[in-house]
């Protein structure tokens, strides 16, 4: 399990890199709009990687983010919103494409990673 310290001075690209270091076939994107479980996020509300957390959130709490493969995708996303005030969406690589994990939100992050690896095989 990896942890990443989250604060207002953390850049979005730092969080994305730490997540992708743990799960090479997954990525996270940050969005202005919230999505429900099973819903996709819209590209027009996606934040730029160069932004800092202080630029995009109203909840300015600090803490450690646990990046745990046993966590359900939907739980990871909702915990990020609850603890750090930011909307995230997990994406899975499928060959040359990136897919939002909307219909597989109940899968664990490890299951998502495994499915992404299968596309490479």
Q: Tell me: the pLDDT tens digits for 65-85? A: 888 899 999 999 999 999 899
113 within 8 A of 25, measured Cβ to Cβ? yes
Per-residue pLDDT at 50: 96
Strand arrangement of the beta sheet that strand 97-100 belongs to: 26-31, 87-94, 97-100
Residue range 43-55, pLDDT digits in tens:
778 999 999 999 9
Spatial distance between the Cα atoms of 85 and 6, rounded to a whole number of angstroms: 11
Does pLDDT of 109 surpass 90? yes
Query: Is 80 exceeded by the pLDDT of residue 40?
Result: no
Determine the pLDDT at residue 37. 62
Residue 90 has pLDDT above 90, yes or no: yes
The confidence score (pLDDT) of residue 35 equals 65
Q: What is the mean pLDDT of residues 11-30?
A: 95
pLDDT score for 106: 95
- The answer for 102, left when phi > 0, alpha when psi is -120 to 50, beta otherwise, is alpha
């Amino acid at each position: 399990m990896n942890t990443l310290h989250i604060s207002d001075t953390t850049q979005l690209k730092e969080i994305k890199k730490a997540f992708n270091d743990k799960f090479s076939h997954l990525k996270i994107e940050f969005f202005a709009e919230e999505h429900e479980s099973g819903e996709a996020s819209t590209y027009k509300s996606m934040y730029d990687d160069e932004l800092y957390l202080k630029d995009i959130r109203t909840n300015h709490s600090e803490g450690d983010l646990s990046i745990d493969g046993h966590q359900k995708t939907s739980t990871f996303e909702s915990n990020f919103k609850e603890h750090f005030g930011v909307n995230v969406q997990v994406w899975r690589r499928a060959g040359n494409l990136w897919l939002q994990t909307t219909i597989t939100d109940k899968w664990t992050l490890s299951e998502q990673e495994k499915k992404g690896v299968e596309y490479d095989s």
